[in-house]
Amino acid sequence: MSDPRPTFRWNVLAFVAVIALTLMLATALLVLLDPRSQGWWGDRFSDLGTAIQQLIAILLRR
């Protein structure tokens, strides 16, 4: 029994997934190596954490 060949759709999805993974890894490398981007992303995650903490506090007050 022979294995079926991948379809065109599968090839396109695999290509998009590889490109997305490559972009995520390049961005992660930039963040790890550049102190300015570390500060910027640190501020964004801090803001996100503060917003989530305030949302939880609001929900728990009910």
Domain assignment present for residue 1? The answer is no
Asked whether residue 53 carries a pLDDT value surpassing 90, the answer given is yes
Domain assignment present for residue 2? The answer is no
Q: In sequence order, what DSSP letters do the residues of 1-62 get, joined into one string?
A: -PPPPPPHHHHHHHHHHHHHHHHHHHHHHHHHH-HHHHHHHHHHHHHHHHHHHHHHHHHHH-
* CA distances in angstroms from 53 to 16, 27, 42, 45, 49, listed in the order given: 35, 27, 16, 12, 6
pTM of this structure: 0.54
- Structural domain range at position 53: 8-61
Domain assignment present for residue 31? The answer is yes
How far is 10 from 47, CA to CA, in rounded Å? Answer: 39
Domain assignment present for residue 17? The answer is yes
Domain count, the chain: 1
Asked whether residue 1 carries a pLDDT value surpassing 70, the answer given is no
Domain assignment present for residue 36? The answer is yes
Domain assignment present for residue 3? The answer is no
Domain assignment present for residue 32? The answer is yes
Q: What is the pLDDT of residues 14-52, one digit of tens each?
A: 999 999 999 999 988 988 898 888 888 889 999 999 999
